Amino acid sequence: MGSTSCAHVRDPRECEDCSARSLSVCSALDVGELDGLHEIARSTFYPNRSSLFRQGEPSEFVFNVTEGVVRLARLLPDGRRQIVGFAMPGDFLGVSVHATYGFSADAVEDVAACKFGRKAYEDLVASKPHLLKRLHDFSANELSLAQDQITLLGRCTAEERIASFLLHMRRRWAVVRGKPSVTVHLPMSRQDIADFLGLTIETVSRTISRMARDKELTVVPHGVRLSDVRRFEQLAAA
CA distances to 17, 56, 83, 174 from 100, in Å = 27, 5, 18, 32
Q: Does 230 bind its own copies (CB under 8 A)?
A: no
Cα separation, 124 vs 72, in Å, equals 26
Cα separation, 172 vs 85, in Å, equals 12
Q: Binding residues for DNA, how many (CB under 7 A)?
A: 21
Q: Does 75 bind DNA (CB under 7 A)?
A: no
Could you tell me which of 161, 159, 173 has the C-alpha nearest to residue 209? 159
- Which of its own copies, DNA, none does 136 bind, CB closer than 5 to 8 A by kind? its own copies
- Which of its own copies, DNA, none does 2 bind, CB closer than 5 to 8 A by kind? none
Restricting to residues 198-217, name those near its own copies by CB under 8 A. 198
| SS3 (DSSP) at 50 | coil
Q: Does 81 bind DNA (CB under 7 A)?
A: no
Q: Does 203 bind DNA (CB under 7 A)?
A: yes
Among 55, 82, 191, 227, binds DNA (CB under 7 A): 191
CA distances to 13, 34, 55, 118, 153 from 105, in Å = 24, 23, 8, 16, 21
- Which of DNA, its own copies, none does 157 bind, CB closer than 5 to 8 A by kind? DNA
Cα separation, 24 vs 86, in Å, equals 9
Q: Does 28 bind its own copies (CB under 8 A)?
A: no
CA distances to 41, 154, 192, 226 from 235, in Å = 42, 16, 21, 13
Restricting to residues 212-231, name those near DNA by CB under 7 A. 219, 221-222
Among 31, 108, 120, 153, binds its own copies (CB under 8 A): 153
Choices 10-18, 106-114, 141-149, 201-209 (CB under 8 A): range interacting with its own copies:
141-149
CA distances to 1, 33, 90 from 121, in Å = 15, 15, 17
Strand partners for 33: none
Q: Does 147 bind its own copies (CB under 8 A)?
A: yes
Cβ proximity to DNA: between 190 and 231 the closer is 190
Cα separation, 139 vs 158, in Å, equals 28
- Which of DNA, its own copies, none does 204 bind, CB closer than 5 to 8 A by kind? DNA
Q: Which residues contact 194 (CB under 8 A, 6 or more apart)?
A: 200, 201, 203, 204
Which residues here bind DNA, judged by CB under 7 A? Answer: 48, 157-159, 189-191, 198-206, 208-209, 219, 221-222
Which residues here bind its own copies, judged by CB under 8 A? Answer: 23-24, 29, 74, 76-78, 80-82, 84, 95-98, 102-103, 125-126, 129, 132-133, 135-137, 139-144, 146-147, 149-151, 153-155, 195-198, 237-238
